[in-house]
Structures are given as C-alpha cells and as structure tokens.
Amino acid sequence: MTNEIEHYLNLAMSSPFPYKSFSNEELIKDYKKLLHTRKVNSIAGLNIIENYHKSIWHCNRYGYKSPIEAWQDPNIMSYVIQNRLKYMATKELSALAIRTGLYVSGRAPKVSIFKPALAKYLINKYLQKYDTIFDPCCGFSGRLLGTATLNKKYIGYDINSITVRESNQLINALNIGNSEVLLKNSLYEMGTFDCLFTCPPYGNKEHWHQDIEELSADEWIDTCLKNYKCEKYLFVIDKTEKYKDYIVETLENKSHFGCNTEQVIFISSK
C-alpha cells in the first residue's frame, strides 16, 4: 500500500460517514427550484431528500454492503481510494469524493431515489384532476415532494419506521401541511382513494436489515389493485409480463453509472 493510499485510508477509517447537510437557505432554494422546474430529469429536490433521509446510506442490495458498511471495511476503502486517485483530476480527496467512489467503483450500490421532478411530471400528465395522491410505498419522499409542489395532498404508507420518521421531519421542516406519511404495511392494508401512484420495492432494489416479503413488480400491482379501490393507478416499474397492455411510456435513465429503462403503467378502473 502506498503512503498516499494509506493516508486517505486512515483519514476515512477515523472519520464518521460523510453525510451531507444543507442550510435552511439551501433547502428553500432547492424547493423553489423544484416548484418552478419543468424538466423531467431535473435534480431539484434531491438536496432536500439527502438532508432529511440519512438512512438512505444504510440500504444495501444482495451481494453488496451498504455504503455505511462499506465505509467501515478497510479492504473496500483501499480499493475505492486507489480508484479515485487514479481517475480524479485532483489528487486531494475529500471525504465526499471518497464516498462517491464507493458506487462509482462498484463497491457499494448507488441507492435509487425517485426524482421529485419526475413525480411532478407524471402527476401532471396522468393524475392532474385529482387533489389527493395516495402512495402505498412512499420510500424516500421523491413522490411526496413532487406532489407537494403541485399543491396536492399526499398520503404515503411505508413499512420502515425510520423512513416514516424522516419523511415527517421533512414535511414539518418545509411546512407541507397537506401531506402525511404513516407507518403501515401496504401488503395488508385496505382502503379507498381517488388515485394511486407508486414505485414499489420490486425485486431486490434495496433492502433494510429486516424481514420483508419479496414481490415482483406484477405481484405488487396485483396487490395494489386488490387492496386499494381507486379510479386511476399509476406505477413505475422495471418490467412487466402481465400488464404490458397498460404501458403508456418508457422512461430512460442515463447516468455515469449506465443506462436503464422503466415502464410507466397506467390503469383505470372505469
């Protein structure tokens, strides 16, 4: 191990995981940007999510450690630091640059976040006439923020108590009075709503260290159609066999980490 790698490894091993935090001014600016953006792929709102949802970095995927766990593994961190020193233009590595290297180098998964701007676009296009948006799998508040900027009420369910607490902290901090996130397991709840909009945790997207039932995207759609009586249902999923006739558009996601597509499923009960 070179002295340079060893220096940064010791720095990382002796430092807490580098969460990002933002000032109130920065968060308000991010929310206003989301409020006015019309770009589907805008990153507006992501600073808000990262500020309040620190638990994102505890998520993992099968075969990977979470970013938090990877940060504490000297073998992983040595590889990441070496990778960053090789490919970054600057030779001065910050803790955040090393954190980015965890998923750039493929040593920890990049946690998926539903972009608030995309949620805003989809609601405007398919659910504009509804005043309340119900989301049975609310996750990290992307659809919540997209809904709020359209001055609609958001009702979200999530199985994870930490996620629910963080979402409500976000709601209170931004004074989003017409939104609520509740601790509920959507597999076993029932209800009637005007419309439903979600991106369910299909397959092995992300995992908390808890027992959850693994369902495919089609099984999640089946469950939502059975448990929740709505006029319209809007899903964003990776693939479907059962609901191909309900695909209304394909979303292409491009980034430094590759390209993938998701399907937008739109179902009407009337």
Give the containing element (helix H, strand E) for 259. strand 258-268
What is the C-alpha separation between 79 and 85, in angstroms, rounded? 10
Q: Read off the pLDDT of residues 109-141 as tens digits, 9 standing for 90 and up.
A: 777 789 999 999 999 999 999 999 999 999 999
Cα distances (angstroms) measured from residue 25 to each of 37, 116, 168, 188: 18, 19, 20, 40
For residue 258, what pLDDT is reported?
Answer: 55
Give the domain ranges of the chain.
Answer: 3-36+60-104, 116-268
Q: In the prediction, which pLDDT does 162 show?
A: 93
CA 199 to chain centre: 9
Task: Indicate if the alpha-carbon torsion angle 200, 206, 212, 213 is positive or negative.
Answer: positive
CA atoms of 97 and 81, how far apart (whole Å): 9
Q: What's the confidence (pLDDT) of residue 131?
A: 97
Per-residue pLDDT of 134-186, as tens digits, reads 999 999 999 999 999 999 999 999 999 999 999 999 999 999 888 999 999 99
What SS3 class is residue 43?
Answer: coil
Tokens of 83: 């990778």
Q: At what angle do helices 116-126 and 24-36 cross, to 10 degrees?
A: 30
CATH topology of domain 116-268: Rossmann fold (3.40.50)
Exposure letters 179-207 (e unless 16+ CB within 10 A, then b): bbbeebebbeeeeebebbbbbbbbbeebb
Q: What angle do CA 220, 221, 226 make, to 5 degrees?
A: 100
Residue keyed to tokens 């299909």: 202
Say if CB 162 and CB 55 are below 8 A apart.
Answer: yes
Neighbours of 226 (CB within 10 A): 9
pLDDT at 267 (0 to 100): 97
pLDDT recorded at residue 86? 83
Task: Give the pLDDT confidence score for residue 212 in this predicted structure.
Answer: 61
Q: Which residues of the chain are modeled with pLDDT < 70?
A: 1, 89-91, 202-213, 254-259
Q: In Å, what is the CA distance from 98 to each residue of 17, 43, 218?
A: 10, 21, 38
Q: Please measure the distance between the N-terminal and C-terminal CA atoms of the chain and give it in whole angstroms.
A: 65
What is the full DSSP assignment across 184-214?
--TTT--EE-SEEEE----TTS-B-SS----
What pLDDT was estimated at residue 94?
Answer: 87
User: CB-based contacts of 209: which residues, under 8 Å, 6+ apart?
Assistant: 58
Instruction: Tell me the C-alpha distance between 14 and 37, whole Å.
Output: 40
Closest residue by Cα to residue 202 from 134, 136, 269: 136
